[in-house]
């Protein structure tokens, strides 16, 4: 019986939540900038948030917050992949590219808001189906 029971309010829990809030804030700035025309945030903010999540995810192992690190990492990877996949639409047809990127940006914003609300409510994020990254 070496199960670790994390008591809410411990230093580790507060630190992980703070990291989560900072990461979600950076994601939100980028996501809102991607949705609103003319308010483009720097990709550097997203890379900083992604780096924080990658480097700090091991500290969250075995806690409910581990799911938030996975959620944010998967969100960035999926959005980046979808942007790359639809990039040729911008070269061939501007309107379909704009629509595709708009939909991807809205999806990314949804993921950020959903995750941030769950973190604020001390709730884990759902685990993806087996075989889905």
Length of the chain: 133
What token pair was written down for 111?
């993921």
Q: Residue-wise over 95-125: b if at least 16 C-beta within 10 A, else e?
A: eebeebbeebbeebbebbeebbebbeeeeeb
- CA–CA dist 125, 119 (Å, integer): 8
- CA–CA dist 36, 22 (Å, integer): 21
Residue with tokens 């914003």: 109
Strands (E), 12-128: none
Note the pLDDT of residue 93: 81
Instruction: Answer whether 83's CB lies under 8 Å from 97's CB.
Output: no
- pTM, two decimals, is 0.83
Three-class SS state of 121? coil
Task: Report in angstroms the alpha-carbon separations of 61 from 4, 34, 52, 64.
Answer: 11, 31, 15, 8
Note the pLDDT of residue 101: 87
Instruction: Answer whether 49's CB lies under 8 Å from 69's CB.
Output: no
- CA–CA dist 35, 54 (Å, integer): 25
Note the pLDDT of residue 2: 46
pLDDT along the chain (133 residues), means of 10: 54 91 93 77 86 94 92 94 89 84 92 96 83 55
């Amino acid at each position: 019986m070496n199960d670790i029971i994390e008591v809410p309010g411990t230093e580790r829990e507060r630190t992980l939540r703070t990291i989560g809030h900072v990461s979600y804030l950076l994601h939100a700035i980028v996501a809102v900038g991607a949705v609103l025309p003319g308010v483009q945030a720097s990709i550097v903010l997203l890379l900083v948030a992604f780096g924080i999540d990658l480097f700090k995810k091991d500290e969250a192992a075995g806690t409910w917050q581990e799911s938030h690190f996975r959620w944010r990492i998967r969100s960035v990877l999926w959005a980046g992949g979808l942007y790359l996949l639809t990039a040729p639409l911008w070269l061939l047809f501007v309107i379909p590219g704009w629509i595709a990127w708009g939909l991807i940006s809205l999806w990314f914003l949804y993921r950020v808001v959903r995750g941030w609300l769950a973190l604020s409510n001390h709730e884990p994020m759902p685990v993806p189906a087996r075989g889905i990254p």
